[in-house]
Structures are given as C-alpha cells and as structure tokens.
C-alpha cells in the first residue's frame, strides 16, 4: 500500500511533499493489525446479533411459553427457556443490546473523566490539584451501593438505563484518576513538555497533545477493563434487583437468573455467559491494537 | 615502589619483554543471541590485548563499540546467555569458562573493577565502612574483624575521604558522587589486585571531581603496582593517563599502539576522524571540527567488509570485500590479494596485538596514510563555515538580545506534610548579571548544581523573577501581558540536553517540528513548506518526516530538536547542554551545524555547558558560574588564556587535553572536596572553602575572603571581569 504513496511523494519531493496525515496513518495502522480487524468484526457481529436477534426469534422480550418451561434448546427455542418459560435467545440478545451500551459508555465516560481530572490536577498542581483530588476522595468514600439502591427507582422507563450508566461512571473514575495524576506529575518535568510550554502552547493543549497520548497505554488498558467491570457491576446490581429494571433486560440480569441453574439447566447460563466472554474479548483485542498503533515503540509497529 | 612503577611505565617495550603479562586477552568474541528469532548481536568480535604489571592500557571507543562488554566478559560478569569464545588468561591461568565460585575467588583479589555509575555501585543499607571491610573479609575470612576495620579506615584515608574514622559509619547516600567513586576505588584496591579494570570511572562526574579521581587512580596504581585497563570514550582522559591505546569500532579493535603513535600518527581513518572531531580547549582558532558522517553500523547486521567503510572518506571498493586484520602499518595485504578469492584463511596475523609493541591498524590503506602523512583534515571533507556578518560591527553597537540583571531564584526548603514550615532556602541562582548581543554566543559554564539550568528556566519562563530583571529584546518580562509574552516566545527558543526526552515519543518528526508553527497560527500550507525546509536545513531527509523519535540516533534527534527550535526563526536560541549526551563523532556534526546556522541566520546563542572544550570552540563570551553566582565573565580568548578567578583557573586546569605531550607536562590544579550545598553557601566568597589561593593568603586577607562577598570587577581593563578580591591573570591551560 505504501509503494504508490511513495512514488507520488518522490515526484513532488523537490518542491514540497504533502504533510503526513497522522489520523490517516493511525487508521491504516489500526486496520493493518489482524487483532483489531478480528475484534472489530466480532463487535460488529455482536451488535448485529443484539439488534436483529429479538426480531428473528419469533418471541417477544419477556413473553412466556407456558408449554415449555425450563426446556432444553430446541427448534422453537434455540437456546432453550428459563424457569418462567421465557426464550433464552430473545432474552440474551435483548440483554446484550443494553449491556453493550452500558459497558462501552461507562468505559468511555469513566476513562475520559479520569484522564481529564487526573491530568489537570497533576499538571496545574496547587489549588486545582487540591480541589480535584478532594472531590475524588469524596467520591471514593461515598457508599456507592447505598446511593445506587436509593436511586434505583429512576432506572426504569425510557432512558432509565442512561441514569445507571452515569451513576456507574461517577463511582468508578477515582482510582484511575489518581494514577493519571501521578503519571502526569512525572511527565510534567519532561523536556518536551518544557519545550511546548516555552513555545507558548496553552496548558490545555499540552495536556491533550503531549501528556495524555503518552499515557495512552494506561488509559486504553483501563478502558478495556472498565467495559467488563461495568457489565459485571451492573450484573451484581441486577442480582439484587437494583440494576436495569424490568421490563428492560440486560445480560447481567439473564446471567444472574441463569447462574443458579448452571449445573442443572446449563443453557440458561452458558449462552449469555459465552456472549459476555466474546464481547470482552473483542473489546480487549481492539484495545490492544489501538495501544500498539498509538505507541511507536511497540514491536508490532515495525513495518 | 613508586619510582619503580614510573620507570616501567616509561620504559620501552623491549626492556621488559621477559616480564610476563598479567592479563592476556586473545581473540575474545561475545555474541548475544537475537531476541525472538532476530539476528544475533555480535557485540565483540576478536579482541586481543595484553597488560603488564604497572602498565595502563586505554580502550577507547564510542557507545556500542563493545569496549565495556569485552571487559565484562573478562571479569565473567556477562549474563549466562551470552556466548563467549577466545581466551582470557590471568597470570597465565585461563579464566574464561571458570564457574562463578572460582571466578569470585579471583574477582577483587587478582582482578577488580571500578564501574561507571557510583550511585548504584554501593548497597544503600550498609555503611560504607562495613562494605569495605566486607571486601577485605570475603577473600580472607580469617582476618580478625578489627583488622578488617582498620584496613577499611586505612583505605578510606588513602582515597582521600576526610575524617575516615567517622565516615566509616556513613551510609552511601550521605556521600557525594565523587566520594562514592572514591569508595568504589578503595574497594577495588582493597586486596591489592594485579589488574584493575576501570569502566568509564569519571564519566558521571564533574571536571574538577574527574581530576581528583584520575589523580587517585594514579595513586592506586602506585600503591598496588596493578595494571590498569581504562575504558573511556574521552580522548582527553586517555591522553595523559595511559601508556597504550586500543581503539575499538563496531566490536573490533581497529588500531592499537602507544599513546604518542595513536595521537600523533594515527593510521586508521576512524581514529583520525575521532581525534579531529574533538574540540580542543588548548587551541584558539581551531576551525570547523571534523565530522564523521553516518552512524555506527548495527551489531546485528554488519557489512561484510570493513565496518567503517560506509563512513570512511577514503574507502575503496576492496574495503567492502573483507574485514582487514589488525596488522602493523603497511603490513596489510595489497589490494589484489584482498580482491582475490580466499582459499582458506590466509594465515591470520600472528595473534594480533600479542606483541606488546608495534603500532597496528586495521585499515588496508594504513601504509598509504603513513607514507603521505595524512591527517584528519586531509582525508575528511571539513565544512566551510562563513564568518558571521555581525562580527564586523562592534559589540557595543549591536542590539541587546537578552539582559539579565541581579537575577535571583531561591527555592524554599520545607518540612512536614500537613503543616509545611520553611526550614531553609536553596540559593539556586543568587544575583547574576549578563547580556547577549545580536549574533554572539555567551556560554554559561560551571559544574552541576551551580545554577546554570535554573537560570535558563527562569529566562525561558518569562515570568517576573523573584528579584532583578530579565529583558528580552529590550522588553522587561515582568510587565508583559499574556499576548505580549506569547509574541515574545517566537523570538526565543530552547534546545535541550537530552535528545531522548526532549521530543515527544508519540509524535512523528513532522508534527514535532510543526508544533511551534501551528501554535503561532501559521497557515497549514506554509507549515508544510517550512517543515520540509527545516528538515533540509538541519541535514535530515524528507522521508524522516513520518518517523518517530525512537527510530533516530542521538545526533539525528538533536537535529530534530534544533529544527523545532528554529521553526519560528527566533533571534535568540537557548542551548541547554546540546551536545553533552552525544558521541564525539556525532557531536562534531551538531557543533558545526550550530556554528553554520549562527553564521547564516545571525542567531544569538545562550549556550549552557559543562564541557569547556566545546565552549571554547563555539562561544564568543564565557560566564563561569559557581554556587549560583557568576565568578568570572569575559571574552573567550581572555578567559582561556588568562583566567583571573581561581575557580576558572582550576576548572580549566582540570580538563584533560587530547594531546599526550602537553598533558604530560601540565600541572593540574586539583581542587579539594565537593561543591558546598547551595542551601547553606559559605559566607563571604563562596569559593573560599575549596580555593587553592585562599590557603596561600595571609590571615588578614583570609579574613576579607570570609566576610566580604566579592563583586565582579574588571581585571584587564577590557571585557573580562572576575569576582575575586585577589584576582590575577595566570595561564591555566
């Protein structure tokens, strides 16, 4: 792919070759990694599955088949049914839709908040640092479970799940932000940060352009872990009935319901759990690829 | 004993031919297996040398030339996965392949080593004295504890640690870098070894401390009569210290001979280039330095021929065919033989380097070089550097680029976590004055901790200083509005010392150089044009634009840093030790580039350095700093020929010159002790605690030094001024 690029460049070289486009480069880099492709395809398939699944199964979400309770996978129910005769396939795919959204959104919001709070606190120091870290400490000591329990009534209805997303994010950014702050303090004394400061680059640009990219490995790792922990966190809440509220259904709700029957009616647990594993795997693959593409010193960049 | 050593050092090789060598290394090779199926790294390829009792051998080479690895192999300190072949004999006993337990018996007793980094050489949790006593005890466990302790104190005294009895109980962190290196040397001497290997023992230290350590190594050699193998990249250190020199390049010895043979009659283009690339402190107008183009080859994919051929200005086609052996001058096979296909190895030289004498070189044209008596300037293309246009105008008439008056930077020392209270003040910069005119270079020199970098940070910050004023292009920075300050940043840029950390590793070169342009709102098309222009200006290639800093060598990275600094066409460039992290041959290229840019663009430089040789080469004026104060300032010529302040004299005298003849006849002024803490500077003159002149003064004069702080006063009616009550010009180089 680069041969054509080079030949055009060398023709123009004597005058002025075009400026290299970092984003295009990055995109090409990403798509050149097999892991990213596999991860993206998996994620796209999951999304498709989540969107189309409930439509093709022939059963409504929450609909019960009283003729087939706790049934094994069959032609009617591809993944069997649960204790109340609900179709596992329909429940799982519908749950997957919510869980995908919750997992990805929580991860992105949490990591973004953590990165911004941590880096601003670390870069500016002084009062800004004190203020932001005080907020972080406060959020750490708040009993998140109790607050979620109190507010769980708001999780039902349209957009209720989004409130849950925000709340999950609010209670999970603090630890990462402390790590980011520590890293920022050590990066702040690097000479390239001094150089940028001395050429007049405003502080917010220094943070976005020099500091955050240099901890992208940490942030990406954090975001990928956040995806799974958000889903699992939501699952835990659902187990106590405090997560996604009926009639909404999430992967966590389905897994929680199925886990009790994991040994007797394996299909209730196996299928949703498998989907969760695939989803986390896909996100991790994309995260790995993104980290390598952003890090010029990583081995896979040698081309 | 001491006289005995001196005579053997100076004696011709023939006179002690029967003297058996202490350490013989022959045909040593070290290979590190490649990672993940990558090619093997051939770090050392056939090194042979011998050292006799009382002899000092210097091994010189740039980073990655295999000089350290070869000595680590001799000590048996390489990791187990390294493949080592050849032979290392200590008193005739083969030690290569000895197991660790047997080797440990020899290490420290027969052969010992001084490492480069004194910070990591000592265990932080034991006292210095106990570690020394342990070194004694470990080889002779029957020694009574008290005796070992006595010996440790004796050793500490020998290496010049004051109050040895008390310092015995000190922990390593209570010692300065120079003191720790002394302890390391004491440890190496503890059991009177026969060979001491010194791996860059002074690289991490300041010049005045370096002078102390070199002096000490001389003492150590006299005391123990040991042979010393001195590994260094500094051609100055070697010149005055060693008897014979072995030059290494890409894992192979390329030239070997006595010091004089190498320094005055080098017959290998690499050595010649290396000697030409060193800036000389003792020469007034040296002209452009000799740069060696290119970079050393990768040790995992070496070319088939002479490894230096790609960088060699006089390489011939046959140089690329086979690697020349280390042979006596003119003893290389003629070109026809090299070209002819080999049938079996044609009698490799009778154990290269074995015969102690004889000047040997691994260059097929060594005979030719000797016949024509070529020097570096004859074979290397030396760039022409035009004269700066500003130099025709008198200094007073040129506009002022930067003026600093009475600048102060104090850091508070605080204690306590919750309630911070101030317990003292670090006087980092304590009232300095200087100015820089258009097109001139002012060098700020001094040892580490003297406040050079703090001064730079204060100037570049463009904030109101704690006291005093900073004026840039005639504008006082304390009253600047935000917009004005931003505007002023265009005209002053900085180049940092460490090319590893001064470039953002996540940004490609294009974006790095474009950043200042984009920040200052230059149009996108103009940015692209200018970036490629700059890449060309600093001698990089267009295709480098998309690469990341990690893919470049140190010298190239520094060029990127310079390109970034030049992007906005500043009038003042602040250079913070721009070449001190680079190898000699690379450094020459960057120094030449800086001089050329100054001449072409009329830049003013504020050049901060601790290397006084580079400073003499590049600077018009010099300011010498000590503990936050300028002690002497003036034009380069005056300062170097007639320094007036005792500190300047000591500093100049401490620097080794890469000229064996001169180095032998020089007397070094060796300062006592270390830099006092800037948190608690001495009263009166700050230098008096280490001053070599202070001791010679009468009581009343000493009283003056102790109570009155001297101010800068003109010493010769001209530009030169020194802050000393008893300043007098004297030659020091």
Which among B528, B551, B564 has the least Cβ separation from residue A16?
A: B528
Tell me whether residues B546 and A297 touch, CB distance under 8 A: no
Give the chain A residue nearest B550 (alpha carbons): A297
Tell me whether residues B505 and A297 touch, CB distance under 8 A: yes
Does the pLDDT of residue A9 top 50, yes or no?
no
Per-residue pLDDT band at B35 (split at 50, 70, 90): low
Average pLDDT over chain A reads 79
**Residues linked to residue B361 through DSSP beta bridges, in sequence order:** B255, B327
Query: Using one digit for the tens of pLDDT, what is the confidence trace for B393-444?
Result: 777 788 888 999 888 888 887 776 667 777 778 888 888 899 998 888 999 9
Query: Using one digit for the tens of pLDDT, what is the confidence trace for B625-657?
Result: 988 889 999 988 888 888 889 999 888 888 888
Does the pLDDT of residue B346 top 60, yes or no?
no
Q: B435, exposed or middle or buried, with CB in 10 Å at 0-12, 13-18, 19+?
A: middle
Assigned token pair, B147: 């005796």
Tell me whether residues A213 and B519 touch, CB distance under 8 A: no
Q: Assess B532–A contact: CB distance below 8 Å, yes or no.
A: yes
Does the pLDDT of residue B352 top 50, yes or no?
no
Which among A16, A25, A192 has the least Cβ separation from residue B503?
A: A192
Q: At what angle do helices A160-170 and A216-239 cross, to 10 degrees?
A: 120
Average pLDDT over chain B reads 82
Give the pLDDT of residue B334.
Answer: 65
Q: What is the DSSP string of B549-598?
A: GGGS-HHHHHHHHHHHHHTT--SEEEEESTTTTS-HHHHHHHHHHHHHHH
Give the pLDDT of residue B670.
Answer: 79
How far is C-alpha B597 from the chain's CA centre? 24
Give the chain B residue nearest A194 (alpha carbons): B502
- Chain A interface with B: residues with Cβ < 8 Å: 9, 13, 16-20, 22, 25, 190-192, 194-196, 198-201, 205, 209-210, 213-214, 216, 294-297
Mean pLDDT computed over B196-222: 83
Give the pLDDT of residue B733.
Answer: 64
Nearest CA distance, A140 vs chain B (angstrom): 21
- Residue B631: strand, helix, or coil: strand
Can you tell me the distance from the alpha carbon of B152 to that of B135, in angstroms, rounded to the nearest whole number? 9
Query: Using one digit for the tens of pLDDT, what is the confidence trace for B699-718?
Result: 888 888 888 888 888 877 67
Query: Using one digit for the tens of pLDDT, what is the confidence trace for B321-339?
Result: 888 888 887 677 666 665 5
Give the pLDDT of residue A177.
Answer: 93
pTM reported for the whole predicted model: 0.78
Q: Assess B564–A contact: CB distance below 8 Å, yes or no.
A: yes
Tell me whether residues B519 and A201 touch, CB distance under 8 A: yes
Q: What percent of chain B has pLDDT over 70?
A: 91
Give the pLDDT of residue B9.
Answer: 38
Does the pLDDT of residue B690 top 80, yes or no?
yes
Give the pLDDT of residue A5.
Answer: 40
Contact present, B286 and B299 (Cβ < 8 Å):
no
**Could you tell me which residue, A21 or B697, shows the higher pLDDT?**
B697
Contact present, B107 and B76 (Cβ < 8 Å):
yes
Contacting residues of B for A23, CB less than 8 Å apart? none
Per-residue pLDDT band at B11 (split at 50, 70, 90): very low
Does residue A247 have a cis bond before it (omega within 30 degrees)? yes
Contacting residues of B for A210, CB less than 8 Å apart? 504
Give the pLDDT of residue A86.
Answer: 76
Nearest CA distance, B350 vs chain A (angstrom): 44
Give the pLDDT of residue B163.
Answer: 82
Query: Using one digit for the tens of pLDDT, what is the confidence trace for A191-243?
Result: 899 889 888 889 999 999 899 988 888 888 888 888 878 877 887 787 777 77
- ipTM at complex level: 0.76
Nearest by Cα to B618 from B558, B578, B563: B578
| Residues 6 or more apart in contact with residue B155 via CB below 8 angstroms | B132, B186, B187, B189, B190
Per-residue pLDDT band at B342 (split at 50, 70, 90): very low
Assigned token pair, B326: 């280390």
Tell me whether residues A198 and B548 touch, CB distance under 8 A: no
Per-residue pLDDT band at B660 (split at 50, 70, 90): confident
Q: At what angle do helices A126-141 and A88-124 cross, to 10 degrees?
A: 150
Give the pLDDT of residue A303.
Answer: 37
Give the chain B residue nearest A191 (alpha carbons): B502
Nearest by Cα to B406 from B426, B432, B429: B432
Query: Using one digit for the tens of pLDDT, what is the confidence trace for B116-160?
Result: 877 777 888 888 888 989 888 888 888 888 888 998 998 888 888
Give the pLDDT of residue A22.
Answer: 67
Task: Name the helix (H) or strand (E) containing B630.
Answer: strand B629-635
Task: Name the helix (H) or strand (E) containing B7.
Answer: helix B2-10
Contact present, A97 and A249 (Cβ < 8 Å):
no
Strand pairing of B83-90 and B604-609?
Answer: unpaired
Tell me whether residues B508 and A19 touch, CB distance under 8 A: no
Contacting residues of B for A207, CB less than 8 Å apart? none
Mutation site, A9, A200, A203, A209, interface B, largest B CB count within 10 A: A200
Interchain CB contacts (distance < 8 Å): A and B = 90
Mean pLDDT computed over A64-91: 73
Can you tell me the distance from the alpha carbon of A171 to that of A185, in angstroms, rounded to the nearest whole number? 24
Q: What percent of chain B has pLDDT over 90?
A: 5
Does the pLDDT of residue A8 top 70, yes or no?
no
Tell me whether residues A22 and B508 touch, CB distance under 8 A: yes
Mean pLDDT computed over A5-34: 60
Query: Using one digit for the tens of pLDDT, what is the confidence trace for A247-288?
Result: 778 887 787 777 777 777 777 778 888 888 888 888 888 888
Q: DSSP alpha helices (H): ranges in A57-83?
A: none
Tell me whether residues A214 and B504 touch, CB distance under 8 A: yes
């Amino acid at each position: 792919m680069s041969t054509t690029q080079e030949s055009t460049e060398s023709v123009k070289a004597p005058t002025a070759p075009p400026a290299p486009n970092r984003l295009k480069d990055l995109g090409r880099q990403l798509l050149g990694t097999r892991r990213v492709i596999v991860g993206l395809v998996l994620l796209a398939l999951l999304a498709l599955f989540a969107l189309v699944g409930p439509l093709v199964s022939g059963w409504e979400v929450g609909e019960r088949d009283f003729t087939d309770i706790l049934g094994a996978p069959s032609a009617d129910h591809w993944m069997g049914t649960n204790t109340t005769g609900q179709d596992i396939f329909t429940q799982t795919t519908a749950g997957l839709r919510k869980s995908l959204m919750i997992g990805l959104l929580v991860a992105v919001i949490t990591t973004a908040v953590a990165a911004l709070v941590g880096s601003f606190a670390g870069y500016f120091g002084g009062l800004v640092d004190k203020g932001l870290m005080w907020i972080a400490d406060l959020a750490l000591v708040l009993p998140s479970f109790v607050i979620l329990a109190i507010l769980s009534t708001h999780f039902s209805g349209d957009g209720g799940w989004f409130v849950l997303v925000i709340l999950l994010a609010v209670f999970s950014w603090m630890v990462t932000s402390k790590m980011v702050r520590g890293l920022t303090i050590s990066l702040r004394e690097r000479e390239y940060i001094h150089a940028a400061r001395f050429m007049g680059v405003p502080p917010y640009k220094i943070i976005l352009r020099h500091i955050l990219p240099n901890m992208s490995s940490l942030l990406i790792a954090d975001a990928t872990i956040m995806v799974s922990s958000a889903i699992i966190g939501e699952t835990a809440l659902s187990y106590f009935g405090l997560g996604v509220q009926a009639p909404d259904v999430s992967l966590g709700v389905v897994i929680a319901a199925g886990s009790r029957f994991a040994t007797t009616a394996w299909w209730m647990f196996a299928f949703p759990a498998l989907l969760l594993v695939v989803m986390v795997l896909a996100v991790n693959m994309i995260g790995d690829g993104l980290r390598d593409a952003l890090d010029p010193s990583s081995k896979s960049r040698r081309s | 004993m001491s006289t005995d050593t001196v005579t053997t050092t100076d004696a011709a090789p023939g006179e002690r031919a029967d003297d058996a060598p202490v350490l013989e290394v022959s045909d040593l090779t070290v290979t590190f297996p490649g990672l993940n199926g990558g090619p093997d790294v051939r770090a050392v390829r056939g090194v042979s040398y011998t050292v006799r009792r009382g002899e000092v051998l210097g091994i010189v080479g740039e980073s990655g030339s295999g000089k350290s690895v070869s000595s680590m192999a001799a000590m048996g300190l390489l990791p187990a996965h390294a493949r080592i072949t050849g032979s290392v004999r200590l008193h005739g006993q083969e030690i290569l392949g000895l197991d660790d337990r047997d080797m440990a018996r020899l290490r420290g007793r027969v052969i010992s080593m001084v490492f480069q980094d004194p910070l990591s050489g000592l265990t932080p949790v034991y006292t210095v004295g106990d570690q020394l006593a342990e070194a004694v005890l470990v080889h002779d466990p029957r020694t009574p504890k008290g005796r070992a302790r006595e010996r440790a104190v004796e050793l500490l005294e020998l290496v010049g640690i004051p109050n040895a009895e008390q310092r015995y109980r000190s922990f390593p962190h209570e010692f300065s870098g120079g003191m720790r290196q002394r302890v390391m040397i004491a440890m190496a001497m503890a059991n009177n070894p026969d060979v001491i290997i010194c791996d860059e023992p002074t690289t991490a230290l300041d010049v005045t401390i370096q002078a102390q350590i070199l002096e000490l190594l001389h003492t150590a050699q006299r005391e123990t009569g040991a042979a010393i193998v001195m590994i260094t990249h500094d051609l100055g250190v070697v010149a005055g210290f060693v008897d014979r020199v072995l030059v290494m390049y890409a894992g192979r010895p390329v030239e070997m001979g006595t010091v004089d043979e190498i320094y005055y009659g080098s017959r290998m283009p690499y050595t010649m280039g290396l000697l030409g690339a060193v800036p000389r402190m003792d020469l007034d107008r040296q002209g452009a330095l000799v740069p060696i183009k290119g970079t050393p080859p990768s040790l995992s994919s070496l070319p088939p021929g002479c490894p230096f051929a790609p960088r060699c200005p006089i390489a011939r086609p046959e140089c690329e065919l086979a690697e020349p052996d280390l042979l006596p001058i003119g003893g290389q096979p003629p070109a026809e033989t090299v070209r002819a296909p080999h049938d079996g190895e044609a009698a490799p030289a009778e154990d290269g380097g074995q015969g102690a004498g004889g000047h040997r070189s691994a260059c097929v044209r060594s005979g030719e070089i000797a016949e024509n008596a070529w020097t570096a300037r004859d074979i290397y293309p030396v760039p022409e550097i035009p004269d700066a246009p500003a130099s025709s105008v008198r200094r007073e008439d040129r506009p002022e680029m930067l003026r600093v008056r009475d600048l102060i930077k104090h850091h508070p020392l605080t204690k306590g976590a919750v309630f911070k209270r101030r317990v003292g003040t670090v006087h980092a910069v304590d009232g300095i004055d200087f100015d820089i005119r258009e097109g001139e270079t002012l060098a700020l020199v001094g040892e580490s901790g003297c406040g050079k970098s703090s001064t730079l940070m204060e100037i570049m910050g463009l904030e109101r200083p704690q006291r005093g004023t900073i004026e840039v292009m005639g504008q006082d920075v304390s009253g600047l509005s935000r917009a004005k300050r931003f505007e002023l940043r265009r005209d002053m840029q900085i180049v940092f010392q460490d090319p590893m950390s001064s470039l953002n590793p996540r940004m490609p070169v294009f974006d790095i150089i474009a950043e200042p342009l984009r920040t200052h709102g230059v149009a996108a098309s103009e940015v692209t044009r200018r970036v490629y222009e700059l890449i060309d200006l600093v001698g990089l290639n267009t295709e480098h634009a998309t690469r990341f800093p990690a893919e470049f060598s140190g010298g190239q990275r520094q060029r990127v840093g310079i390109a970034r600094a030049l992007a906005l066409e500043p009038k003042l460039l602040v250079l913070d030790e721009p070449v001190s992290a680079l190898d000699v041959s690379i450094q020459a290229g960057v120094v030449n580039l800086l001089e050329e840019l100054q001449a072409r663009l009329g830049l003013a430089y504020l050049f901060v350095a601790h290397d006084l040789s580079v400073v003499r080469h590049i600077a018009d004026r010099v300011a010498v700093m000590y503990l936050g104060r300028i002690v002497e300032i003036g034009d380069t010529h005056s300062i170097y020929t007639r320094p007036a302040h005792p500190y300047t004299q000591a500093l100049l005298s401490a620097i080794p010159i890469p000229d064996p003849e001169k180095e032998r006849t020089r007397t070094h002024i060796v300062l006592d002790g270390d830099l006092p803490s800037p948190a608690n500077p001495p009263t009166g003159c700050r230098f008096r605690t280490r001053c070599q002149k202070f001791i010679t003064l009468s009581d009343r004069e000493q009283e003056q030094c102790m109570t009155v702080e001297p101010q800068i006063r003109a010493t010769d009616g001209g530009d030169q001024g020194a802050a000393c009550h008893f300043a007098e010009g004297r030659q020091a180089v």
